[in-house]
Amino acid sequence: MEQNQNNWLLTSWISNEGASRIFIELKFTLRDCNSLPGGLGTCKETFNVYYFESDDADGRNVKENQYIKIDTIAADESFTELDLGDRVMKLNTEIRDVGPLTKKGFYLAFQDVGACIALVSVRVYYKKCPSVIRNLALFPDTITGADSSQLLEVSGSCVNHSVTDEPPKMHCSAEGEWLVPIGKCMCKAGYEEKNSTCQVCRPGFFKASPQSPSCSKCPPHSYTHEEASTSCLCEEHYFRRESDPPTMACTTPSPISIVKKGKIAKNSISLSWQEPDRPNGIILEYEIKYFEKDQETSYTIIKSKETKITVDGLKPASTYIFQIRARTAAGYGGFSRRFEFETSPVSVAASSDQSQIPIIAVSVTVGVILLAVVIGFLLSGSCCDHGCGWASSLRAVAYPSLIWRCGYSKAKQDPEEEKMHFHNGHIKLPGVRTYIDPHTYEDPNQAVHEFAKEIEASCITIERVIGAGEFGEVCSGRLKLPGKREFPVAIKTLKVGYTEKQRRDFLGEASIMGQFDHPNIIHLEGVVTKSKPVMIVTEYMENGSLDTFLKKNDGQFTVIQLVGMLRGIASGMKYLSDMGYVHRDLAARNILINSNLVCKVSDFGLSRVLEDDPEAAYTTRGGKIPIRWTAPEAIAFRKFTSASDVWSYGIVMWEVVSYGERPYWEMTNQDVIKAVEEGYRLPSPMDCPAALYQLMLDCWQKDRNSRPKFDEIVSMLDKLIRNPSSLKTLVNASSRVSNLLVEHSPLGSGAYRSVGEWLEAIKMGRYTEIFMENGYSSMDAVAQVTLDSNSCKGMNHLVKGGASPTSPCFRMDIRLEGSCADWRRPAL
Ligand code: AMP
């Protein structure tokens, strides 16, 4: 009630927390001056608000006149005596803002100059755009700008596992609202967006690129067991081209999708189909599998080179299921889906048969006449008596259907089609596609004509001698069959003056070869038995035998090329083992290689294979065996199986990777047998990928059942080919030493207490002194021998010093596991 009121209320120092505009919300009550009894002259209905900026809390001593006025605040509503009696509180709310602030904080001051006022609350705040994730970008808490109309541009940061597409930006308004988002982030490959985060793709799912919207299930025939996969791997035997997108299914030669039925009779159904859309190479043939509905365990397989076939021998009025698949050099594609077709019922067929009687009668008559004419021709001289081309063209005019047969005096029913019957997974007679031992034929001539086509000698042009076989020369030349283009062939001849047994053995190879049909088995064109010299004609392999070819081209191929050769050989061997044929003489010298570096298994025979092979030696139990290539059980008790072929395959792998090196170098056969029996194995060739050497060691397991099967070898090599980086790890020299000394040592790991004991165990005791003199006095020192040239020099000296003229260094080398390979190779 006194005059000149001047009351100040001061806040403590308030940090502005970085904000440059702050808001002050005041809630207060104010008494109406009119309601005051008397003394109106001093009563005020406003109060003042001030601020003072400072960087710290030193403003307590600031003078009143240094404060800057924010505003004079008046009440919208004031209360009276009456309100007091009713206990009604009329609360006023006023908001003011201040900015731009330039210091870290401020004081607020309230000046009362005579109002009856109650300041109920003061709320001081600033505005911000709260942290938000938009378009996978995180925008942080952002304090609004100092100006009330200002928009702040804020950059976002991509959330975990995401990447920038276009730099993400948003705008923070003075009111604390996010406006106008620009740009975005995307979940990186292997992650997908869920609830504004990037979640990992689960195993079985993949996302190839940030642009893909979400994780997708692996496409058909592919898989991934990893989280965050960016692609899926193809299942075994399925492939994807490098240029194929990862969303594309892995395929085998693509399955045939459409099979149409043609003519349907009571015993036969004609089918046709389209070549697959995306064949995995040139289609070599189709396989048609069929069975009577609900009798799947008993099915038949026919092969055809064309895209149509008439399947006969069916039951009338019966439903049959057909599936077709294609084969390329890469193998078989998947079978098509099942197609169901029904033969005509007997009654219909019978009536139509009757209606066809006149036609049949005419056909039979014509057939008999034709047969007579054909027999007449055959009796009047062989096809090629006057030159193959002339005879065949004459026949071609007269009997077009015989064109392709000209040149063969014996042909199979239709060489383009073969039939195999299966029951419960086993091949059923007749038309069996397992290997048949020609010895089971009483007449070997019958066997050769069962499996090999007879070629007229005049169709063959011999050009030059390319090799020598046991029975005569091997020549290259050309074969011109009527209606076909001339093409190069190899011709094995049987020398004159042969015995009957020699002829039988010579043609035995053709009887075996003729049963095989596989891109990695040498293909038999036919035989010449009706004239002399007797000949076997096969496809021509430009690069000859693999061992010689590799020696000539030492170090010239990439690892992938070498593995490709090995894959081919393994694939051929898988085919042979599936057919039940045991080769017994698998070695690089018996593999032929063509100009495309395709390897094919050759040299088939029975007892004669081993008689013929200069590598084969007589064993104590009789019989000749190529010791270095042969599994111990086959040497010891003639247990030749596909598993012993796998052992030989391991040796072939070693020959290939070492470019035709002789297995076990100059060791004698007896030493090889002993060393292998003792558990010793060939060391890794130089620069050999560890995966390949491991496969070799697997093939050389003593227990034949533990060796891999050929199909497993093919798959393993396919995997390596598909993932070439897996071939980059080479066998490490020092690990090779311990590997051989320990793992294959019959005495086991750590069995050798001294170098002397070890040398004794490997029958090299006489070198003990020289080892000691050269500082190899402990097993540790021996195991340290590396490819380092100094230690090789040491070994050179060491071995020379102790070796007799005929007991060469390589033996030491083998035991030291090729550590001195650099030194040894030129020396040999
Ligand atoms: P073989 O009697 O089968 O061991 O053949 C002897 C040699 O003739 C082989 O080492 C090859 O150099 C060569 N030879 C055999 N068959 C063929 C062929 N189909 N293509 C090319 N050269 C062959």
Asked if residue 466 has its Cβ within 6 Å of ligand 1, the reply is yes
Token representation of residue 72:
């004079």
Q: What is the pTM of this model?
A: 0.47
Catalytic annotation, residues: 585
Q: How many CA atoms lie within 13 A of 342 on its CB side?
A: 7
Closest CA to 522 of 580, 463, 568: 568
Does residue 828 have a pLDDT over 50?
no
pLDDT given at position 820: 36
471 C-alpha to ligand 1 centroid (Å): 12
The stretch 653-680 carries a mean pLDDT of 91
477 C-alpha to ligand 1 centroid (Å): 13
pLDDT band at 809 (very low <50, low <70, confident <90, very high): very low
Does residue 579 have a pLDDT over 70?
yes
Q: Is the peptide bond before 255 cis (omega within 30 degrees of 0)?
A: no
SS3 761: helix
The atom of ligand 1 lying closest to the CA of 468 is 6
pLDDT given at position 624: 74
Residue 487 is given by DSSP the state E
pLDDT given at position 385: 34
The atom of ligand 1 lying closest to the CA of 589 is 10
pLDDT given at position 703: 95
Amino acid at 793: K
The stretch 304-331 carries a mean pLDDT of 87
pLDDT given at position 419: 60
SS3 366: helix
- Token look-up 């027999």 returns 375
Return the residue whose CA atom lies nearest to atom 2 of ligand 1.
469
pLDDT given at position 797: 29
Highest mean pLDDT among 99-103, 276-280, 744-748: 99-103
Counted residue by residue, the chain has a size of 828
Asked if residue 544 has its Cβ within 6 Å of ligand 1, the reply is yes
pLDDT band at 39 (very low <50, low <70, confident <90, very high): low
Does residue 483 have a pLDDT over 70?
yes
CA 68/CA 103 separation, integer angstroms: 14
The atom of ligand 1 lying closest to the CA of 541 is 20
Amino acid at 813: D
Which has more confidence, 519 or 435? 519
Asked if residue 474 has its Cβ within 6 Å of ligand 1, the reply is yes
The stretch 424-452 carries a mean pLDDT of 69
600 C-alpha to ligand 1 centroid (Å): 11
Those residues whose C-beta lies under 8 Å from the C-beta of residue 794, and which sit 6 or more positions away, are 774, 775
Residue 725 is given by DSSP the state G
Cα distances from 509 to residues 395, 438, 441, in angstroms, run 32, 9, 14
CA 255/CA 629 separation, integer angstroms: 40
Closest CA to 24 of 129, 113, 102, 99: 99
The atom of ligand 1 lying closest to the CA of 539 is 19
The helix, strand and coil proportions of the chain, stated in percent and rounded to the nearest 5, come to 30, 25, 45
pLDDT band at 59 (very low <50, low <70, confident <90, very high): low
CA 548/CA 673 separation, integer angstroms: 25
Burial letters for 479-490: b for 16+ Cβ neighbours within 10 Å, e otherwise?
bbbbeeeeeebb
Residue 275 is given by DSSP the state P
CA 103/CA 52 separation, integer angstroms: 10
Of 592, 595, 599, 600, which is best to mutate to test ligand 1, by the most ligand atoms within 8 angstroms of its C-beta? 592
pLDDT given at position 613: 64
CA 768/CA 757 separation, integer angstroms: 9
* CB-based contact 291:321 (threshold 8 Å): yes
Cα distances from 674 to residues 509, 680, 763, in angstroms, run 33, 9, 11
pLDDT given at position 423: 45
Runs of H (alpha helix) within 436-517: 444-451, 500-513
The stretch 656-683 carries a mean pLDDT of 90
Range with the lowest mean pLDDT among 322-326, 551-555, 581-585, 781-785? Answer: 781-785
pLDDT given at position 425: 45
CA 377/CA 215 separation, integer angstroms: 71
The stretch 3-30 carries a mean pLDDT of 92
What does the mean pLDDT of the chain come to? Answer: 79
Which has more confidence, 236 or 92? 92
Q: Is the peptide bond before 100 cis (omega within 30 degrees of 0)?
A: yes
* CB-based contact 271:343 (threshold 8 Å): no
282 C-alpha to ligand 1 centroid (Å): 27
Asked if residue 490 has its Cβ within 6 Å of ligand 1, the reply is yes
pLDDT band at 688 (very low <50, low <70, confident <90, very high): very high
Does residue 562 have a pLDDT over 90?
yes
Asked if residue 469 has its Cβ within 6 Å of ligand 1, the reply is yes
Asked if residue 541 has its Cβ within 6 Å of ligand 1, the reply is yes
The stretch 30-35 carries a mean pLDDT of 85
In the chain the first and final C-alpha atoms are separated, in Å, by 125
Asked if residue 598 has its Cβ within 6 Å of ligand 1, the reply is no
CA 804/CA 787 separation, integer angstroms: 24
CA 529/CA 454 separation, integer angstroms: 7
Report DSSP letters for 567-586, one per residue: HHHHHHHHHHHHTT---S--
Does residue 389 have a pLDDT over 60?
no
CA 458/CA 482 separation, integer angstroms: 11
CA 433/CA 273 separation, integer angstroms: 25
Which has more confidence, 62 or 47? 47
Does residue 645 have a pLDDT over 80?
yes
Does residue 412 have a pLDDT over 70?
no
The stretch 459-483 carries a mean pLDDT of 89
The stretch 18-46 carries a mean pLDDT of 85
Which has more confidence, 458 or 370? 458
Of 545, 591, 615, which is best to mutate to test ligand 1, by the most ligand atoms within 8 angstroms of its C-beta? 545
545 C-alpha to ligand 1 centroid (Å): 6
The stretch 711-734 carries a mean pLDDT of 88
Percent of the chain with pLDDT strictly greater than 70: 76
502 C-alpha to ligand 1 centroid (Å): 18
pLDDT given at position 786: 38
Does residue 23 have a pLDDT over 90?
yes
Asked if residue 540 has its Cβ within 6 Å of ligand 1, the reply is yes
pLDDT tens digits for 590-617? 999 999 999 999 999 754 445 556 676 6
Does residue 709 have a pLDDT over 50?
yes
* CB-based contact 24:110 (threshold 8 Å): no
The stretch 36-45 carries a mean pLDDT of 74
Does residue 395 have a pLDDT over 80?
no
The stretch 557-584 carries a mean pLDDT of 94
CB atoms under 10 Å from CB of 707, counted, come to 24
Cα distances from 730 to residues 686, 722, 724, 725, 786, in angstroms, run 9, 18, 12, 11, 14
pLDDT given at position 347: 54
E strands, 113-155, in order? 117-125, 128-129, 132-134, 137-139, 142-143, 152-155
Asked if residue 467 has its Cβ within 6 Å of ligand 1, the reply is yes
Token representation of residue 475:
């020549």
Asked if residue 271 has its Cβ within 6 Å of ligand 1, the reply is no
Of 460, 462, 463, 466, which is best to mutate to test ligand 1, by the most ligand atoms within 8 angstroms of its C-beta? 466
Report DSSP letters for 34-50, one per residue: GGSSS-GGG-BSEEEEE
Range with the lowest mean pLDDT among 110-119, 239-248, 748-757? Answer: 748-757
pLDDT band at 623 (very low <50, low <70, confident <90, very high): low
CA 713/CA 734 separation, integer angstroms: 27
544 C-alpha to ligand 1 centroid (Å): 6
Asked if residue 593 has its Cβ within 6 Å of ligand 1, the reply is no
The stretch 58-85 carries a mean pLDDT of 83
664 C-alpha to ligand 1 centroid (Å): 25
Does residue 38 have a pLDDT over 80?
no
The stretch 347-357 carries a mean pLDDT of 40
pLDDT band at 421 (very low <50, low <70, confident <90, very high): low
pLDDT given at position 787: 34
Radius of gyration of the chain measured on its C-alpha atoms = 46
Asked if residue 592 has its Cβ within 6 Å of ligand 1, the reply is yes
Looking at the DSSP assignment, which residues form a beta bridge with residue 132? 139
CA 24/CA 113 separation, integer angstroms: 20
Which has more confidence, 81 or 382? 81
786 C-alpha to ligand 1 centroid (Å): 40
Which has more confidence, 450 or 86? 450
